[in-house]
Amino acid sequence: MRFMPDLEEARLDIRDVLGDFCWFPQDYVPLSRTMSFVRTDPVTLARQPFLDHRWNRRGYAQTSLTLDSIAGELAPDAPLPQLNFIWHTSFCCSTLIAAALNVAHRNLSLSEPVLMVTAADLKRAGAYQDGKASPRTPEIALRLLARRPEPHTAITVKPSNFANILIRDAARHTTGKSLFLYSDLPSFLLSVAKSGLQLSKYARRLFFGIVQDDGKPLRWPAADLFQMSDLEVAAIAWHMQIAEFRRSWAELGEGRVASLDCDAFLADPRTALEKLDAFFGYGFGPETIRKIVGGPVLSRHAKLPQAPFSAQQRRVEQQAVRQFLGADLDRIAEWSYGAYAEAVRGLPLPGALIPTEK
């Protein structure tokens, strides 16, 4: 459904859409080979915990353009756009950190645009190789997301972790920095267990969504997969995400990538924000960081703004789940290192913005 009158929409020139940041690229429709856009503004985008189906766009003007027409306007040999990323494993405060980094005129965080997941799913399906989708789709998507509301405002995309297969595409088609954000394995499992059936289903969907992102055949027989518990599946999914980060590290190269354990952020958000400011080059400065730390963003639930949040609350909730699981938590974590050959013990990633010991 479109919310702009046909006459007004007919007057839109493709360059009016592509040249205007306020026409946000909301998704790509493979069947019609069209990119859909919604008319919005930086403040609205910054307020959305998720720029996917959970974003209510009712009443917003919308339009669409064919990918071929967009490709004709965006030359593949044009200078690479500068775009920053927060790639993550889920359950690691990624939405909170993206919100904390939203500073007017300095940085705009785009949280989980669905366009990135669509581009990732097409890549997994082999659509760029078999001609069912243009191989320029990821590049064009990144160029559109990189448009800025103001010349000096940085754009930082926090993709869904279902889009992590696009890390190397982003490395080739953009400049800018990438943060690999993660929670440790026990914390990941505790988050899945805490929310019961809903996140157990999510963990299985994540597992089967990314299980062949490494290009290798499925390594577990169907009978073994059927017998895995929800938390065992979740543990393997965590290892697969870390493996994707490790595969992509070298392609980004020195200076363009860093890692962060979310516990280090929660333990000392001021220092973490200072490190993130320096890494991404936002130019926030001490006063802006002081306001972020003392402001409301770190004291409310990033996904449910009406609910309070604190690092202490997170620890208490995790401890309750840890006691409920008992020895099963350690057993599942240890089992997963044997079940996934590429699993790395100790700190999973190099280049920590804040060194941690676990």
Give me the sign of the Cα torsion angle 187, 191, 192, 194: positive
Q: Is residue 60 part of a domain?
A: no
Q: What is the pLDDT of residues 255-281, one digit of tens each?
A: 999 999 999 999 999 999 999 999 999
Task: Answer whether 71's CB lies under 8 Å from 134's CB.
Answer: yes
Q: Is residue 133 part of a domain?
A: yes
State the pLDDT at residue 2.
36
Domain that residue 233 falls in: 77-339
State the pLDDT at residue 178.
98
Say whether pTM exceeds 0.85: yes
Q: Is residue 351 part of a domain?
A: no
State the pLDDT at residue 7.
32
Q: Is residue 358 part of a domain?
A: no
Neighbours of 137 (CB within 10 A): 23
Share of the chain above pLDDT 70, in %: 97
Q: What is the pLDDT of residues 140-173, one digit of tens each?
A: 999 999 999 999 999 999 999 999 999 999 999 9
Q: Is residue 283 part of a domain?
A: yes
Q: CB under 8 Å to 162, separation ≥6 — which residues?
A: 117, 120, 121, 206, 209, 210
State the pLDDT at residue 5.
37
State the pLDDT at residue 261.
97
- Total domains in the chain come to 1
Separation between Cα atoms, residue 5 and residue 212, nearest integer Å: 44
Q: CB under 8 Å to 44, separation ≥6 — which residues?
A: none
Cα 86 to its chain centre, rounded Å, is 6
Q: Is residue 357 part of a domain?
A: no
CATH code, domain carrying 156 = 3.40.50.300
Q: Is residue 248 part of a domain?
A: yes
Separation between Cα atoms, residue 154 and residue 4, nearest integer Å: 29
Which pLDDT tens digits describe the chain residue by residue (358 residues)? 333 333 344 457 999 999 999 999 999 999 999 999 999 999 999 999 999 999 999 999 999 999 999 999 999 999 999 999 999 999 999 999 999 999 999 999 999 999 999 999 999 999 999 999 999 999 999 999 999 999 999 999 999 999 999 999 999 999 999 999 999 999 999 999 998 777 789 999 999 999 999 998 888 998 999 999 999 999 999 999 999 999 999 999 889 999 999 999 999 999 999 999 999 999 999 999 999 999 999 988 777 777 778 888 899 999 999 999 999 999 999 999 999 999 999 999 999 999 988 7
Average pLDDT, the chain: 93
Q: Is residue 4 part of a domain?
A: no
Q: What are the distances in angstroms from CA 119 to CA 114, 163, 231? A: 9, 8, 28
